[in-house]
């Protein structure tokens, strides 16, 4: 998607041409420009126009009916839409030329990225670099012309428009909500109730009224299962025998660091009757409250010290939290620097108060 204002481009890549992607591209463009143009020209795309009737000049007047969501979007940002006549690409000015310029200069050679987030960051860098370019027959750069036209933009509204498709679905017996043939997991406590699905360009939100139940990356495939393994931990804790064969955990186990299988094996050896698997599931549940890096480090420390249980992992997690809240600088030799911690310097130097023991002795007489 490419939007341009005063020759200043904004380009953003999406995995689909759905309306929520189309509208979200506008939101990010307005954010990039720092305001909203008074009028925006469009081709007659179906993401904005629902019905077109009539012909252009010389025949019946062209009548268009915008989609309700696009009309609501325009009303939120208060800009006017202008649609070019059908089948008249020559009336779009330099739009087609700008698209070609962006494709040739920003996407050749094809950038190698890992995600759409990385791709859009790369393209944004190219757009900002284009501010230094001087268009043919112009006396100033794109950036200089932009600074002159910036004051004519309308201010941004107080909050962004929610660019998503909304629908209501019933949770399946497998604790999943189905949207566009794909199945997204939910916490097993939800049960078979109706929930609201909000499909954004890059993620899916599932809500029970106003309460967010789950958020997943949006899948544009077909008939796919998108799991969050943490959603199924309470159920597996009740049925530890199903842990090794549970479908939601197959992909997650492939990404586990080496310490996780080691902890699981040690727990199974200590408690072979299923209690070891239950203890490991309780350890995995710590991912709900702590970052994955901290949980991994705590598991590794617990293995190193032989604390093969949940309490041992929790001990090292709390130790990490304490060190983050009150950092203490240490010398390479192991000495502790207390200069920046005067409240610690008095520890061990206070006079001993034995009055409490004397009271105990008097009471025992």
Mean pLDDT across 43-69: 74
Rounded Cα–Cα distance for residues 154 and 38 (Å): 7
Last residue of a domain, one of 124, 152, 180: 152
Residues 221 and 243 both lie in one domain? no
Residues 6 and 135 both lie in one domain? yes
**Helix (H), strand (E) at residue 147:** helix 142-149
Residues 289 and 319 both lie in one domain? yes
- CA-based radius of gyration for the chain: 30
Domain CATH code at residue 148: 3.30.420.10
Residues 256 and 336 both lie in one domain? yes
Q: How many independent structural domains does the chain possess?
A: 3
What is the pLDDT, as a whole number, of residue 357?
Answer: 79
Residues 142 and 18 both lie in one domain? yes
For residue 207, give its domain range. Answer: 165-226
Rounded Cα–Cα distance for residues 264 and 253 (Å): 12
pLDDT tens sequence across 160-176: 999 999 999 999 999 99
Last residue of a domain, one of 118, 152, 186: 152
Residues 48 and 70 both lie in one domain? yes
- pTM of the predicted structure, to 2 decimals: 0.79
Mean pLDDT across 142-163: 92
Residues 132 and 189 both lie in one domain? no
Among 247, 268, 122, 107, smallest CA distance to 174 is for 247
Residues 133 and 177 both lie in one domain? no
Residues 352 and 293 both lie in one domain? yes
Residues 87 and 103 both lie in one domain? yes
Last residue of a domain, one of 226, 245, 274: 226
pLDDT tens sequence across 186-204: 999 888 899 999 999 999 9
Residues 192 and 141 both lie in one domain? no
Domain membership flag for residue 202: yes
What is the pLDDT, as a whole number, of residue 54?
Answer: 61
pLDDT tens sequence across 93-134: 666 677 788 888 888 888 899 999 999 999 999 999 988 888
């Amino acid at each position: 998607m490419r939007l341009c204002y005063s020759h200043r481009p904004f380009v953003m890549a999406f995995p689909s041409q759905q309306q929520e992607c189309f509208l979200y591209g506008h939101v990010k463009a307005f954010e990039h420009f720092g305001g909203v143009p008074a009028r925006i020209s469009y081709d007659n795309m179906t993401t904005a126009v629902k019905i077109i009737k009539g012909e252009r000049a010389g025949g019946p007047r062209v009548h268009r009916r915008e989609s309700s969501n696009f009309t609501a979007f325009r009303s939120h940002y208060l800009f006017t839409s202008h649609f070019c006549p059908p089948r008249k690409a020559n009336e779009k000015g330099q739009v087609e030329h700008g698209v070609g310029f962006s494709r040739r200069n920003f996407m050749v050679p094809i950038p190698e990225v890992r995600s759409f987030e990385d791709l859009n960051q790369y393209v944004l860098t190219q757009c900002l670099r284009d501010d230094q370019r001087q268009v043919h027959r112009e006396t100033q750069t794109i950036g200089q012309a932009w600074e002159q036209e910036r004051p004519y933009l309308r201010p941004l509204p107080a909050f962004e428009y929610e660019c998503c498709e909304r629908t209501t679905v019933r949770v399946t017996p497998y604790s999943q909500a189905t949207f566009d043939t794909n199945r997204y997991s939910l916490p097993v406590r939800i049960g078979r109730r109706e929930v609201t699905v909000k499909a954004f360009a890059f993620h899916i939100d599932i809500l029970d009224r106003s309460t967010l139940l789950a958020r997943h990356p949006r899948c544009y495939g077909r008939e796919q299962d998108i799991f969050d393994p943490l959603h199924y931990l309470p159920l597996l804790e009740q049925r530890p025998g199903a842990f090794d064969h549970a479908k939601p955990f197959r992909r997650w186990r492939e990404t586990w660091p080496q310490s996780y299988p080691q902890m699981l094996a040690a727990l199974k050896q200590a408690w072979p009757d299923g209690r070891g698997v239950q203890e490991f599931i309780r350890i995995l549940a710590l991912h709900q409250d702590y970052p994955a890096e901290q949980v991994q480090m705590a598991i590794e420390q617990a293995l190193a010290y032989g604390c093969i249980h949940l309490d041992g992992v929790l001990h090292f997690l709390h130790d990490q939290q304490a060190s983050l809240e009150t950092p203490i600088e240490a010398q390479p030799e192991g000495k502790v620097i207390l200069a920046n911690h005067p409240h610690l310097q008095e520890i061990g130097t206070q006079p001993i108060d034995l009055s409490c023991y004397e009271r105990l002795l008097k009471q025992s007489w």
